Structures are given as C-alpha cells and as structure tokens.
Amino acid sequence: MPDTRTQILDLAEESVRARGYHAVSFRDIATALDVKSASIHYHFRHKQDLGLAIVDRYALRVADRLGSSEGLSWPEAVQRFGQVYQEAVQQQGLQCLCGLLAAESAGLPEEISKRVAEFFAGNLKWLEAAQRQTPTPLSRERAVRVQSEVQGAMLLAVSLKDPALLAMVIKRLHSEALQL
C-alpha cells in the first residue's frame, strides 16, 4: 500500500482532473482517505503546496512516458506524443491535469499557473526537438499544432466519453507527419 503522502497525491490529482482545482479541498481528501485534515496539512501545509506537488509529479510522469525524442523521426514522435495522452484517456477517462489547470489558470495561484505553463513549454520543446532531423521555420508551428490538437481532442474525448475522437486526431496527425 502506498504511503500517506502518495495516497494524498493520487487522490488529489484524480480529483483535480475530474472536478478542477477549486472543487477540491483538504477536507474532501481527508474524508476519502479516512484520516483527519491535520494529516493532509502535515504533508502539504497549504493547498498551493499540494497543487504544486501534483503538477510537478504529473509533469515528471509525462516526461518519463515521452522519454527522449533523440533518434525519433517526426512521425514517430507524433505517434509517441499522442499515445501518452491516448493511454490516459483510455485507462482513466480523465483530462490532462495541466490542460484542465490551464483552463483555470486565471484563478489559480501564480506559482501553479507558472508550473502549468512550464509543462506545456516542455512539451513544445520536446516536439520541436523531435524535428531536428528535418528542421524548418515551421518547426515551432508544427509543435504548437500537435500540442493544441491533442489537448483539444482529449477534452472532447473525455467530455463526450468517446476515446475514439482522440485516436482519430492522433491518427491524422501521424499520417500528415509521414507526408512531410
């Protein structure tokens, strides 16, 4: 069984991905884990600390799943990038944590909004690096397009409870990448 801190992080991430940052409270987490709120505060003094911890952990998990883009062709990179998000929808039926938080960014603590922006900047950097074999002035634009379309399709797939929508977009992006 995971330690209390990991259980808190797991439940907090799932709750934020399902309901949003502002809909999650320490009391809800404590109740779900059958512990006192003080136990949550022991590990995370403020809600912002918990928010930062789940964003950092999520970003590391996505980066680990992506791995290095070194040696990947652009079509392989697009496929891998899409697969990471496709698996999340298929296995959990949940929106990307940072995608959801980005939609709430105007009302989030500044440091959390900053970490969310860093997550997306890291994704774009990974996608741009994957194009190093065939760099063009359009490399940034391609990276933004892939990131945007995958996030948008993920939002629709979760909202409509239809993972095939995301799979369709990833398949098209991969097919277009093969033609470059």
Q: How far apart, in whole angstroms, are the C-alpha atoms of residue 165 and residue 146?
A: 15
Count other Cβ atoms within 10 Å, centred on residue 143.
22
Q: What is the pLDDT of residue 1?
A: 76
pLDDT digits (tens, 9 = 90+) for 17-74: 999 999 999 999 999 999 999 999 999 999 999 999 999 999 999 999 999 999 899 9
**Cα distance between the two ends of the chain:** 48
User: Which pLDDT score, from 0 to 100, does residue 138 have?
Assistant: 84
- Ordered by where they begin, the domains of the chain are 4-178 (1.10.357.10)
H and E: helices and strands count for the chain? 9, 0
Closest CA to 8 of 20, 92, 24: 24
Q: How many CA atoms lie less than 13 Å away from 11 in the CB half-sphere? A: 20
| Tokens coding 14 | 């799932």
Work out the widest C-alpha separation in the chain, in whole angstroms. 57
Top-confidence residue, 2 or 145? 145
pTM over 0.75: yes
Answer yes or no: is pLDDT of 144 > 90.
Answer: yes
Closest CA to 150 of 92, 95, 75: 95
